[in-house]
Amino acid sequence: MAQRESDIPTPPGSVVTHETGTIGWITFDNPTRHNAMSRDMWQSLGDAIRGYAENPAILVVVLKGKGDRAFVAGSDISGFEKERSSHSDIREYDAILAGALAALQGCPKPTIAMIRGYCIGGGMAIAATCDIRFAADDARFAIPAAKRGIAYRFAGVKQLADIVGPAFAAEIFFTGGQFSASDALQMRFVNRIVPAEKLDSYVLDCAQTLASNAPLTIASITRSLIEYSKDPSARDLALCEQMADGCFTREDYREGQLAFKERRSAVFKGR
C-alpha cells in the first residue's frame, strides 16, 4: 500500500503520495538506491495509481523520484535473490510489475513523468507509460537488460519502439548503454528538456494548466490514447466516440463557448 506523506519520515523503499489541490503526486522514495523499485514498491505504485484513478478530486497525476539524483534506477537488483529466485517468484514479481504498469497505462487522468537524474530500466518503463515526459537537463537514460541477462517481453519492447522507433529501440536495448537528455529528446522519448533548477516549477505549471482545462475533454482524449495503445482488435472505439459526443452536450461545452465570446478564462466544472 502506498504511504501518505506526513511529518513522520517514511522508510526507504516506499512509494509516497500527497495532493496539492487537484494534482496527485507519486514519489518513489528509495534514494540510497537511486529510487530503485522493490517488489513492494511496484505493488504500491499500482495501488497509488488505482487510488487516484478512482478519486474524482484528482485531475492530474505527477510521478517523480525522491531527491535530485534519480527518477527510478530500475528494479532493485539487491532484492532479486529473495524476490526472483524461483520460477514461481519470477512469475509473481512480473505479475505485480505488469499490474502496476497496466494501472498506469489505464489511468483515466493525465500522467506526467518528472525525470531528474537516472531513469534506468524499469524507470524508463514507468516514464514510457506516462502520457507526458519532462526531463531535467541532467537526466540519464538506459535499459541495461542485455548487461544483466534480464529478459524483456514483447509488450515492453513494442512500447519503446512505438515511442522512439524500432532503430532507436534496438540501439537502446542492444547496447544497454546510457544516453543523455538531449539524446532522449532527439529520440522523441521525452517531450521537453528543462534546466534542472526549473523542473519543479515547469511541471507544476503544466499540471495546473491541465487541471484547469475541461475535464470531460481531457477524459475523452485520455480514453482515446488508452485505446490507441491497445492491439487494434481490442480497441473500444465506440466508447471513444461516445465520450467525444458527450462533450458537446455538457455544461462545460457551453461554458467554453461563452468564455470565448466574453474573452475570459473558462471555469470548468466537469459536467
What pLDDT is attached to residue 213? 95
What integer pLDDT is reported at residue 5 of this predicted model?
A: 57
Amino acid (1-letter code) at residue 11: P
Q: Which fold has domain 3-211?
A: 2-enoyl-CoA Hydratase; Chain A, domain 1 (3.90.226)
Tell me what pLDDT residue 28 has: 97
195, pLDDT greater than 80: yes
In this structure, the strands spanning 70-73 and 132-136 are: unpaired
Angle between helices 237-247 and 215-228 (to 10 degrees): 170
Q: What is the mean pLDDT of residues 193-202?
A: 98
Residue 6 has pLDDT above 60, yes or no: no
Choice among 65-79, 149-163, 210-224 with the minimum mean pLDDT: 65-79
For residue 4, list its beta bridge partners.
Answer: 17
Residue 251's pLDDT is 92
Alpha-carbon distance 132 to 191, whole Å? 7
Name the more confident of 270 and 204: 204
For the chain, the structural domain boundaries read 3-211, 214-261
pLDDT of residue 268: 92
Q: How high is the mean pLDDT of the chain?
A: 92
Model confidence at 84, pLDDT cuts 50, 70, 90, reads low
Give 7-22 pLDDT, tens digit per residue. 455 556 899 999 999 9
Rounded-to-integer distance, Cα 254 and Cα 79, Å:
54
- Considering only residues 77 and 257, tell me which one the structure prediction assigns the higher pLDDT: 257
- Report yes or no: 23 and 207 within 8 Å, Cβ to Cβ: yes
Which triple of cell numbers denotes residue 104?
A: 498506469
Band of residue 82 on the pLDDT scale cut at 50, 70, 90: low
Which residues are registered as beta bridge partners of 29?
14
Residue 149's pLDDT band (cuts 50, 70, 90): confident
pLDDT at 117: 97
Q: Give residue-wise pLDDT tens across range 235-266.
A: 999 999 999 999 999 999 999 999 999 999 99
Q: What whole-number distance in Å separates Cα of residue 115 and Cα of residue 201?
A: 13
Query: Is beta strand 23-29 parallel, antiparallel or unpaired with respect to 3-4?
Result: unpaired
Which pLDDT does position 92 carry in this prediction? 86
Q: For the ranges 110-114, 163-167, 185-189, 249-253, which has the lowest average pLDDT?
A: 249-253
